[in-house]
Structure 1
Amino acid sequence: MRPDSSNGKMAAAAARWVAHRAAGLDAAGKAELQAWLRADPRHAPALAAADPAASALDWPLHTGTLDRVLAGLAERAAQRRIRRRRWARAGAVAALLAVGAFFALPPSAEPTRAPAGALVVHGPELRTLPDGSVVELKGDADLRIAFTAEARRIELRRGTAHFTVRKDPARPFLVTAGGVTARAVGTAFLVGIEAGQVALVVTAGRVALDRSAPADSGAAAPETLALVQAGESIAVLASAGGAPRLAALPAAVQQQRLAWRTPRLEFHGTPLGEIVAVLNRHNRAQLVLGDRDLADLKLSGTLSADRVDALLEMLDADFGVGAETTGETIGLRRRNR
């Protein structure tokens, strides 16, 4: 196929390749796809845009487009370093870029504009609090910490944070945001402020959501709005009357609010063996390479650490590597052996 002269023709060609690949490409078809990708730098993004599954696993890109892709990855990494220095000077938290793309390098292709073999794991900033509890910060989240002998108090001024609380029944762990307080003893939960709402997602244990009584009310204790169990989430909505309204968050929204905690791998011409080792540290299911030469298969791209299924799909579709699951072990082996 020759490079298309119009965006419409290019999009149509990309859509046809999506359909062809979904139906299955033989060796000749894969070679023709690679040639089409090499023919015009606009073809790769057009193909990714046409793929309805691009958010899970973008199209593997081969020789001819890899230099441009890897150069872009390197440029984004440099931009992140600049931004982190700026945010550090401002006292804020570094934001982590989480773009999703997957690329495969055939054994003979080596990137020329990015360091070969590099593997970087991106994740939220972790802070250990004075009591040993751990907080994970998303983006520009801003906290104010005030621990005393009676209580462990944190004010979330901006953004989203996840707390893994060390048990201390004598000192409740209190996180205040937007006029409400999440109260825990030993548990794990997320608190986020977004678009005028406060969200609470409990990942372990249970958390009481309190509304502090006004200073002039004479109330001796805060008003408990809800008791949220592990696996549950709730949003606190402002109302005209001043009393907050509660709404359960759908499961999909809850998962979306927690997704930033999952580490993301960025790798440039990295052997599959190294990628597998990192993924195994973050997943209960363990990958095992059944063929020794698979350890040297070089890949480039980005991948969420919990998307082992995306990696398996790419290995199967483009390298003929099958997966066999036994219990919590996933064996990888070339299909022609």
Structure 2
Amino acid sequence: MAGQTRQTMSNRADNKSVSDVAARWVARRDAGLTPFETEELQQWLDADERHRDAFDHYARAWSAFDRPARAGAQDAVMRELQARSKRRRARRVSAMSGAACAFAVVLVFALMRRQPDAGELSHAGAQQQSSVVVSRPESRVLEDGSTVELKPGAIIDVRYDETTRRVILERGEAHFQVAKGLPRPFVVEAGGMEVRAVGTAFAVQIDSAQMEVLVTEGRVAVEKTQSSAPAPLDTTGGDDDPGAELDDARIPPTFAAASPAVPIVPVAVLGVCERVVLDITMPTVTAPVVTPVSPAELNARLSWRISRLEFSSTPLAETVALINRSSHLPDGSAGARLVLDPASPGLAAEPVSGVFRADNIEAFVQVLGLSMGIEAERRGDEIILRKPR
């Protein structure tokens, strides 16, 4: 009997270890993995069926917790989580109720309160000193002052000349903030299409079949390049002499007026919070549909631009300052500002650990309450954090 008890306890401890590692892998994947970490995760998943089951379980929970923010229903979810935490006394939340939102709170709670064990992740190692890692998409400043943010996997080729500021998007997705006050048009070329803008901001995505344009500021014109060659000209003039000279009357009008530039055809004009999706496999574009995009949809569509913040025993004052600086959404709006109550001594030095999306302030505050007992009070656009009274 004693042997069976020890075996049962051992199995429980092993399952908890698997669960803890799976939770941290899910959070790190959301923040972005390096190629080496991606390979390491795959090896861990393939090593044991329980690993994959635990990972899938936490991935669903994390997704459920993050989705309300993208759908604009975060406040309602947070109120529900607060009610649940009161009913379950917060300390018992870690028992895992089975509800997806509660699972996600426990997931982040575990990340905040416990550092990775040695050997669980190769990059975890021993307990680390205070540190902060900010994960952002790659950003480039072009020679004219325009900026380009590249979603992982995107490739661009910059080709500026005296008449045009041209960027070729070879694959993936990029967001462009075009420098204002310059005479040369800014052109993004992708899949036989061109997006022209001056002093505006927009995103372009391309795959093997489609090209999408989404405007976040100003207006842009979408055009199609006519790269297909016209039918060969009849150089005989009806004569048997193949060397007869061409008569201008027989030259097609488009050829007579041709210039070294590639002919283009207007496709659509887009304003702020509008998008168009085009089929680039077809030789012509017919009646493209420009659709409006709500701020919530825009923020969700460009969520890859939002910073991920990883804290390791970081003082709360530092985490709050960084979140306040990094919490702007892709549409330019910002969430509530976090403020530490000066009447709560020692609060600023409280250590925080975990991985968070910079825009998910409400979730961050909820975790502080569950894991550290920190109270929050909303005052207009500010959230006041304090120790329990």
**Structure 1 unaligned residues grouped into runs of 5+:** 37-46, 76-111
Deviation at 1:211, TM superposition (A): 1.0
Q: Which secondary structure does the structure 2 equivalent of 1:119 belong to?
A: strand
| Paired position in structure 1 for 2:31 | none
Tell me how many residue pairs correspond in the alignment.
Answer: 281
Q: Aligned pair in 2 of structure 1 residues 191, 56: CA closer, same or farther (>3 Å)? A: farther
1:89-148 Cα offsets, whole Å, 9 max, x none, are xxxxxxxxxxxxxxxxxxxxxxx7242211111101111111111111111211111111
Q: Which moved more, 1:50-59 or 1:126-135?
A: 50-59
| Paired position in structure 2 for 1:74 | 123
Give me the whole-angstrom Cα distance separating, in 1, the residues matched to 2:108 and 2:375: 18
Indicate the structure with greater strand content.
1
Q: Identify the match of residue 293 of structure 1 among 343, 346, 361.
A: 346
Percent identity for Structure 1 against Structure 2: 33
Counterpart mapping for 1:1-337 below 5 A: 3=12, 23-25=84-86, 30-31=90-91, 47=96, 51-52=100-101, 58-61=107-110, 66-68=115-117, 72=121, 74=123, 113-194=126-207, 196-214=209-227, 216=229, 218=254, 222-238=264-280, 242-243=284-285, 246-247=288-289, 248=291, 251=294, 254-283=298-327, 284=334, 285-290=336-341, 291-334=344-387, 336-337=388-389
Deviation at 1:320, TM superposition (A): 3.0
Q: Aligned pair in 2 of structure 1 residues 70, 299: CA closer, same or farther (>3 Å)? A: farther
Deviation at 1:260, TM superposition (A): 1.0
Deviation at 1:312, TM superposition (A): 1.2
Amino acid across the alignment from 2:176: F
Are the aligned partners of 1:237 and 1:245 in contact in 2 as well (CA < 8 Å)? no
Amino acid across the alignment from 1:333: R
Deviation at 1:229, TM superposition (A): 0.9
Deviation at 1:74, TM superposition (A): 2.9
Give me the whole-angstrom Cα distance separating, in 1, the residues matched to 2:285 and 2:347: 60
Which of the two has higher C-alpha Rg?
A: 2
Q: Which moved more, 1:309-318 or 1:170-179?
A: 309-318
| Paired position in structure 2 for 1:80 | none
TM-score scaled by length of structure 2: 0.62
Q: Aligned pair in 2 of structure 1 residues 292, 194: CA closer, same or farther (>3 Å)? A: farther
Deviation at 1:286, TM superposition (A): 2.3
Q: Aligned pair in 2 of structure 1 residues 236, 255: CA closer, same or farther (>3 Å)? A: farther
Q: Which secondary structure does the structure 2 equivalent of 1:246 belong to?
A: coil
Give me the whole-angstrom Cα distance separating, in 2, the residues matched to 1:192 and 1:127: 17
Superposition RMSD in Å: 3.8
Are the aligned partners of 2:112 and 2:354 in contact in 1 as well (CA < 8 Å)? no
| Paired position in structure 2 for 1:43 | none
Amino acid across the alignment from 1:286: R
Q: Which moved more, 1:211-220 or 1:291-300?
A: 211-220
Indicate the structure with greater helix content.
2
Q: Aligned pair in 2 of structure 1 residues 180, 20: CA closer, same or farther (>3 Å)? A: closer
TM-score scaled by length of structure 1: 0.70
Give me the whole-angstrom Cα distance separating, in 1, the residues matched to 2:384 and 2:276: 40
Deviation at 1:238, TM superposition (A): 3.8
